[in-house]
A = this chain, B = another copy of it.
Amino acid sequence: MKDISYKNVKITDGFWKIKQDMINGVTLKSVYDRFEETHRFSALDCTWKEGDPNAPHVFWDSDIAKWLEGLAYSLSFYKNDELEKIADESIEKIIKNRDENGYFNSHFLVMGERFTDRSEHELYCAGHLMEAAVAYYNATGKRTLLDAMCKYADYIEKVFVKDKSASFVTPGHPEIELALVKLYEVTGEKRYLELSKFFIDNHGANDIDKNLYRGCNGDYNQDDRPLRERETADGHCVRALYLFCGMADIAYLYNDKELFEAAERLFMNIVNKRMYITGATGSTCHGEAFTVDYDLPNRDAYAETCASIALAFFAKRMPKLNIDSKYADAVEKVMYNGILSGISMDGKGFFYENPLEIDPDFNDVNICTDGGKRFPITQRKEVFDCSCCPPNVIRFIASIGDYIYSYTDDTLFVHQYIASQTENEGMKITQITDYPTTNEIKFVIENNSKKYIALRIPAWCKKFEVNKPYTLKNGYAYIETAVNDEINLSLDMPVTFVSANKRVHSAAGRVAVMRGPVVYCLEGVDNGKDLKSVRVDIKGETEISNKEFLVPNITAKGYKEPENDALYFDATEEYIETDLKFIPYYAYANRGETEMLVWVLKK
């Protein structure tokens, strides 16, 4: 199976067109401005000296790189001379200031010792620059950065494989593994693929890499044991999931069954035991990490936006190894929930952490010199000290076309339902839909070199209709197609109430409201205070109403507790009937600081 690239998929309308317009019209410039103000862009000048203010941070290059990469995806469909000029100038600075041997890092060029600290983000930054280089070349045809990054990759190969002169063997923050695969794909140079495989094979297999920073939740730096031996997803979620992407790439490109099986085990461990209903991962801020199966606290969830994006990257790669809808289901889950909650409706504000419950009155009650009990912030910010998430959201949304189509010799797979046109490999297909606002998807097939079109039937969908005969296999409805065909898919999309496994103690007795792939939440601004005590009637009628936040809001029957001043009092069965207004989870925290709740008591 091969993917159809975002380059060949034009988003035409609806939900994701609105988001891409926002990225191009607002977010790219806003994030650039914040990065400029915070000296990230000027750090590329490499002029910082001891005693100067604004010392370049070890991960600033990755912020720039992800922004460049996101801009590149956007430039494929939007003209943006102002930002392209900034991109070109930034690339020039990188070229100008890099070492003769190809090395570039705006931190280590002005301070510190190169390749001595595995837990720093040196190879991570390199990887992101490689991804940016590939994207920028693909979008603009300009290969300055690509050539520079090839040279840098060659140097990294020399240091890590040939000379073994670095103080460590594999990166403490994985990312370069998947980036090198992209570099291989665009250049055809197999040594980049082999360098990626070298890192994949060596993770957790070298004593020299172990125990560098093991403080938090075990496998923080992904060095506990070789990847092939891993049973569970542990440690820092973003590090883990970026690494699993490289792992899936290498498994695919080397046809490595053992590595695939390990990746599959890790994927299944995540989606069956360690993933929030929003698709987010990271149960704790301590180590930004996975913890143990079913430990999914809501209010102090870490649920980093980048981890959600990384899960989409990982899940996107797996169908190439095993055609099954569960992967695209995971992509869809995280795409409409855990990722999108990371950006405000106006495109300027971001969450790093995406809890499933916000309780502002009790949020800052433990401010403490010895750490204190912390909860995620309640309102999005335009930039963070560690601002990895904002440009990551940009590149994800700008390349959403990447997630829609794949193909084998005889089948075109449709993973996601997004209004779009694609013309590629002898196929010309228009997908017309307002999904997930409504549930109808029409495919107009002008040209199709494939015998079948295989439409994913989402796991959340209990009933669907297609206007053609189909065979259902591993979650895809296979339909024989002809030229000038028209296929209509209707996915039954009622409001549903979802329970969590009873081992998930944070959701005990509670349900989440969903419609299609979209998870909903209550906000205090609509429903008053003390949402934790509100009950929703799972047998009651529900109504979908105005599209305040792109998809409809939901009104459900609910119950509130009567007023009572006492701290403790005899339990009653009295409730006050009320209508509850649910909004899409991704839209929370757009109307000021207020309570928010995904898991609502079940009446």
Contacts and interface: CB of A to CB of B under 8 A. Distances in A.
A272 B566 CA distance: 7
A523 interface: no
Contacts of A286: 366, 368, 370-373
Q: Which of A273, A275, A370, A497 has the most CB of B within 10 A?
A: A370
Contacts of A272: 566-567
Nearest to A601: B509
B369 A215 contact: yes
Contacts of A371: 286, 370-371
A344 interface: no
A427 to B, nearest CB: 35
Contacts of A366: 216-217, 284, 286, 291
A524 to B, nearest CB: 12
Interface string A26-58: 000000000000000000000000000000000
Contacts of A501: 564-569
Given A286-B370, A532-B505, A273 B567 contact: yes
Contacts of A444: none
Given A505-B533, A533-B502, A571-B538, A284 B216 contact: no
Interface stretch (A123-131, A242-250, A357-365, A586-594): A357-365
Contacts of A499: 561, 564, 568-572
B509 A530 contact: no
B601 A568 contact: no
A159 interface: no
The binding surface of chain A is classed by DSSP as loop
B571 A498 contact: yes
Contacts of A285: 373
A421 to B, nearest CB: 34
Given A362-B292, A497-B571, A535-B509, A368 B215 contact: yes
Interface string A523-555: 000000110110100110000000000000000
Q: Which of A215, A277, A533 has the most CB of B within 10 A?
A: A533
A165 to B, nearest CB: 29
B277 A568 contact: yes
A503 to B, nearest CB: 6
A34 to B, nearest CB: 27
A271 interface: yes
Contacts of A300: 373
Contacts of A369: 215-216
A323 interface: no
Interface string A346-367: 0000000000000101100111
Interface string A137-174: 00000000000000000000000000000000000000
B533 A508 contact: yes
A284 to B, nearest CB: 5
A111 interface: no
Interface in A370-392: 370-373
Nearest to A300: B373
A602 B505 contact: no
Contacts of A437: none
A573 interface: yes
A205 interface: no
A110 interface: no
A573 B284 CA distance: 32
Nearest to A372: B286
A495 to B, nearest CB: 11
A504 interface: yes
A56 B532 CA distance: 48
Contacts of A511: 571
Contacts of A566: 272, 501
A55 to B, nearest CB: 22
Contacts of A401: none
A498 to B, nearest CB: 5
Nearest to A275: B567
A319 interface: no
A287 interface: yes
B497 A564 contact: no
Given A286-B366, A371-B286, A498 B533 contact: no
A216 B27 CA distance: 39
A83 interface: no
A11 B569 CA distance: 32
Q: Which of A359, A369, A565 has the most CB of B within 10 A?
A: A369
A210 to B, nearest CB: 16
A273 B567 CA distance: 6
Interface in A170-228: 215-217
B372 A216 contact: yes
A63 interface: no
A505 to B, nearest CB: 4
A389 to B, nearest CB: 20
A367 B217 CA distance: 6
A368 B500 contact: no
A216 B509 CA distance: 34
A105 to B, nearest CB: 26
Interface of A: 215-217, 271-273, 275, 277, 283-287, 291-292, 294-295, 300, 359, 361-362, 365-373, 496-505, 508-509, 511-512, 529-530, 532-533, 535, 538-539, 561, 564-573, 601-602
5 contacts: A499-B561, A502-B564, A509-B509, A509-B533, A538-B573
10 nearest CB pairs, A to B: A215-B369, A508-B532, A371-B371, A291-B365, A508-B533, A505-B532, A497-B571, A502-B533, A286-B368, A509-B601
